[in-house]
């Protein structure tokens, strides 16, 4: 069931604004807006978790120095 409600547009400085009624409130504190013809589409920004962000990164192709190079083997350490 689609809910529809008439709202008023107003000016906020140099921007046109609309007050979003409670039944249309979006979660979070950020949204994306796009125009499709005469329609404005406003969608909440879904924050990605750390694992999702890391999964989008490309693998590193660099080789790194061995951090254990030059250390004594464990069996030779005397306390």
In order along its 79 residues, the chain shows pLDDT tens digits of 678 899 999 999 999 999 999 999 998 889 999 999 999 999 999 888 899 888 999 988 888 889 988 888 777 656 6
- Beta-carbon contacts of 17 under 8 Å, excluding residues fewer than 6 positions away, are 9, 10, 11
Helix (H) or strand (E) holding 41: strand 39-44
* Residue tagged 């249309």 (tokens): 24
> SS3 of 76, please?
helix
Domain spans, the chain? 1-49
The whole-model pTM stands at 0.53
CA distance 49 to 59: 19
Helix (H) or strand (E) holding 36: strand 31-36
């Amino acid at each position: 069931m689609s809910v529809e409600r008439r709202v008023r547009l107003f000016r906020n400085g140099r921007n046109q604004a609309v007050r979003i009624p409670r039944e249309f409130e979006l979660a979070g504190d950020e949204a994306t807006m796009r125009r499709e013809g005469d329609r404005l589409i406003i969608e909440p920004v879904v924050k990605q978790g750390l694992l999702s962000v890391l999964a989008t990164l490309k693998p590193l192709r660099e080789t790194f120095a061995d951090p254990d190079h030059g250390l004594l083997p464990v069996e030779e350490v005397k306390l």
